Amino acid sequence: MKAREMMPGTPARLGAMLVLLSGGVAAADVIYQNDFTSGAGVEWSDRTLGTVNAPFGTFLGNFGQGTVRLTLGQLVDDGSGGDEPGGDGVGSGVNGGVAHSDTSARGGGNGGGLGMGNFPTATRPFFGSGGGGGNGGDDGGGGGTDPGVGAGSYTLIFDLYLFDSWDGRDPTYGVDRFKVKANGTTIFNEALETFEPWENWWSAWVQAGTAAYDPAYKDIIVPEIRLNFTVTNPGELLTIDFISEQNQSILDESWGVDNVRVIHNTGRSGAAVPAAPTAALLLGGLLGASRRRR
């Protein structure tokens, strides 16, 4: 999704939604952002992409039931091992510093050498075995790491796409629920409804126009969901799980995300709870959607 435009009949969002926290964005660092124009990287467990009508464009999805994970702060190994010089003679270490794909950071292999030996006579030179190459470096000699993420307060921001028949808390066809977890802690947990979006928790929504599978039904985009959480251990990986728990197949209920940002609110404290939504806007009569067979 690029620059957003509110669709006809959709309420404008409050200006407060453009401010990260009361202190604004000056005291925050964006550690990750992706609008999926150039695709999704290896940080995503599923890199499926979809498109919707302009001005929205490419998003991550569609997905059905299950979990899609974003992982930040990957460990990496640069493969730098030891490489001591050869021993006596002309031998030299030639087999050091082998790169490894795991994170054990093993040292380089032993050096090896074949050197020129003594010459007993001018007419009978011979090659003797040169000194052995030096040993490779110790395990752990290589293997640089990305230290993960710093401790502190974070804010996750994303747009949520809901396609087709999300039934909310309907006792017959629901419950259709969406969750978000940060390092295993639930920071968002809501039953969601696409037929009557004013019954949901959000205060602003966009009617996307073309449905994922059935053009007879409107899809919903919930812009700029903001969730606050904390990371307590500096250097740990940050995993964010987007979890869909609906009771029908992807052909009837699906979802996606767009404009994903993770912000480190430097110098602030946070709580692992969803950010409070903005003041409710009047939505009556804006969608005019009638219930369909689910």
pLDDT in tens, 245-269: 988 888 889 999 999 999 999 754 4
Q: Say which residue, 283 or 188, is predicted with more confidence.
A: 188
Comparing 33 with 106, the larger pLDDT belongs to: 33
Mean pLDDT along residues 219-224:
90
DSSP code, position 201:
S
Q: Tell me what pLDDT residue 210 has.
A: 63
Question: What domains, with CATH codes, occur in the chain?
Answer: 15-75+147-274 (2.60.120)
Give the helix ranges, DSSP H, for the chain.
none
Give the closest residue to 242 by CA, choosing from 70, 51, 59.
70
pLDDT confidence of 35, banded at 50, 70, 90? very high
User: Where does the chain show beta strands of DSSP type E?
Assistant: 29-34, 49-52, 57-63, 66-72, 152-164, 177-182, 185-191, 206-207, 220-231, 238-245, 253-265, 273-274
* Residue 64 confidence (pLDDT) above 90: yes
What confidence score (pLDDT) does residue 211 get? Answer: 64
pLDDT at site 122:
47
Q: Check pLDDT > 90 for residue 84.
A: no
More confidently predicted of 99 and 212? 212
DSSP state for residue 167 in the 8-state scheme:
B
Question: So what's the pLDDT on residue 185?
Answer: 97
Is residue 237 a contact partner of residue 38, using CB atoms and an 8 Å limit?
no
**Percent of the chain predicted with pLDDT > 90:** 33
* Per-residue model confidence (pLDDT) at position 69: 99
Is the pLDDT confidence value at 279 over 70?
A: no
d(CA 90, CA 131): 6
Residue 119 has pLDDT above 50, yes or no: no
pLDDT score recorded for residue 186? 98
What does the pLDDT read at residue 209? 66
Q: For residue 184, what pLDDT is reported?
A: 97
Highest mean pLDDT among 15-29, 175-189, 235-249: 175-189
Mean of all residue pLDDT scores within the chain: 67
- Position 224 scores a pLDDT of 94
